[in-house]
Structure 1
Amino acid sequence: MADAFTQVYIHLVFAPRRREALIRPEWEVRLHQYITGIVQERGHKLLAIGGMPDHIHIFIGQKLSEALPDLVREIKNASNDFVKKERLSPFKFDWQNGYGAFSHSRSQMDAVCKYILNQKEHHRKRTFKEEFLKLCEDFGIETGRKEFFSWFE
């Protein structure tokens, strides 16, 4: 069989359970570095990572030999274990079930990276719920029938 040549860019979004603001600025960089390691060890390319205390964005160049749900499961499980093992949070830390995954073209890479890296500024104007629902709308994802994150406001 001939080699496969692919170029797939995926923007992932997920949140701690109950959408609690548990990702503290004091250890956010360590968490991002740890997740970067997970992504890279599995052969994917980390393009950008950022977020807020109540959610995270990860932009990757996906290696198609691993199914996206398997990668997300590994990121969540391993990073959850890392937070617990390192005792980063004094509160019970778990990721919520579910996630958003949005595909982008190569021409959108710079804009998506800037968007993810500027989350703190972006969220001065828009809540996570508004942001996530807008992403779904922009990508034509019907939200009425799907179970989404627990929206506590």
Structure 2
Amino acid sequence: MQKFKSNKNVVYSCKYHVIFCPKYRRPVLVNAIASRLKELLAQIAIDIKVEIIEMEIMPDHVHLLVEVDPQFGIHRVVKRFKGATSRYLRLEFPELKSRLPTLWTNSYFVSTVGGAPLEAVKMYIQNQKET
């Protein structure tokens, strides 16, 4: 059974796989930096009411599986994650400033996940008048 969330106006299930990388894909997300990044992402998620379902920090990229209120939007979530973590990590780990002009690239990957297969949804919509 699928679990839905809701706000005042929308009942939703919007899950996304997000990947973003440090500038030049430098392998700087290791040891204490990786641990602190996980803590920061978890705290930011609480602050902006986003559920992190799964998270993994690789030396040169971050994987997140998140559920996001569609009225807040995935772009705002990624922007908040990248902006706040860049600020705090560069303050706490000055070596990041000397190695990179900015912590994160401007780009990111996002893909929706979960729900019914595309073909099943298409058939459901096509058959609406027949049921």
What is the TM-score of this pair, normalised by structure 2?
A: 0.73
- Kindly name which structure, 1 or 2, has the bigger radius of gyration based on alpha carbons: 2
Partner of 1:94: 103
AA aligned to 1:50 is E
Structure with greater proportional strand content? 2
C-alpha deviation, 1:88, in angstroms: 5.9
SS state at 1:38 partner: helix
Once the two structures are superposed, residues 99-143 of structure 1 have per-residue CA deviations (whole angstroms, 9 ceiling, x without a partner) of: 000111158xxxxxxxxxxxxxxxxxxxxxxxxxxxxxxxxxxxx
The counterpart of 1:16, out of the listed 11, 22, 43, is 22
Q: Given the superposition, is the C-alpha separation of residues 88 and 23 from structure 1 closer, same or farther in structure 2, using an over 3 Å criterion? A: farther
Answer yes or no: is the 8 Å Cα contact 1:22–1:89 preserved in 2.
no
Answer yes or no: is the 8 Å Cα contact 1:27–1:88 preserved in 2.
no
Answer yes or no: is the 8 Å Cα contact 1:8–1:103 preserved in 2.
yes
The unaligned stretches of length 5 or more in structure 1 are 108-153
What percentage of aligned pairs have identical amino acids?
18
1:71-86 correspondence runs (5 A): 71-86=77-92
Q: Given the superposition, is the C-alpha separation of residues 58 and 88 from structure 1 closer, same or farther in structure 2, using an over 3 Å criterion? A: farther
How many residue pairs get aligned? The number is 106
Partner of 1:105: 114
Answer yes or no: is the 8 Å Cα contact 2:18–2:108 preserved in 1.
yes
Answer yes or no: is the 8 Å Cα contact 2:38–2:57 preserved in 1.
no
What is the TM-score of this pair, normalised by structure 1?
A: 0.63
Partner of 1:47: 53
Distance 2:115 2:43 in 1: 23
Partner of 1:69: 75
The unaligned stretches of length 5 or more in structure 2 are 1-7, 117-131
Distance 1:6 1:34 in 2: 26
Answer yes or no: is the 8 Å Cα contact 1:17–1:95 preserved in 2.
yes
Runs of 4+ in 1 over 2 A off after TM superposition: 88-93
